[in-house]
Structure 1
């Protein structure tokens, strides 16, 4: 994750936003004595929000983690998509 000063981020704002969107990599922007902020694409932010929502319930989180473990151990099935 890259880090930029506020001044550098302001000077290269368009390029920085393009990089954040295209690379799906957040950028930390430092602001002197103020707290730093993170620039993240809207797509990535929505994905993080969805993940947090799905993992909020312990029961749902356990179910998802079991499914991932099953898939990683070869327990998945390939199926054709029927339109």
Structure 2
């Protein structure tokens, strides 16, 4: 996390934005007479919002916590991804509606 004052942020906004995107980190903009603000990339923001959403359900949060415990304890199972051919992929598509 980087901290920069408001005047410096205003004078180098492009560089501040480029840095948060490149570093996948946040920059705090401090202001003397007002609350501080945070600049982050949209990807970082989206990730935080998704995490908040996933943890907003107590049941889902508990399930995720158990899964993390299992992974840390070495109880996670390694599985290969299944490659689906084009024909198989199309067989799961919704049927076209003709009318």
Shared fold, TM over 0.5: yes
State the match for 1:37 in structure 2: 37
**RMSD value, Cα:** 0.9
CA distance in 1, matches of 2:79, 2:2: 40
Q: Distance in 1 between matches of 2:22 and 2:65?
A: 29
**What is the number of equivalent residue pairs in this alignment?**
83
The runs of at least 4 aligned residues of structure 1 exceeding 4 Å deviation read none
Question: What is the CA–CA distance in structure 2 between the aligned matches of 1:45 and 1:63, rounded to whole Å?
Answer: 23
**What TM-score results when the alignment is normalised by the length of structure 1?**
0.93
5+ residue gaps, structure 1: none
Larger strand percent: 1
- Deviation digits for residues 3-62 of structure 1 (CA, Å, limit 9, x no counterpart): 111110111111111110111110010122011100011000000000000101111111
Question: Per chain length, whose mean CA-contact separation is higher, i.e. which structure has more relative contact order (CA < 8 Å, sep 6+)?
Answer: 1
TM-score (norm 2): 0.79
- Provide structure 2 residue ranges, at least 5 long, that are not aligned to the other structure: 84-99
Partners of 2:49 and 2:3 in 1: CA distance: 23
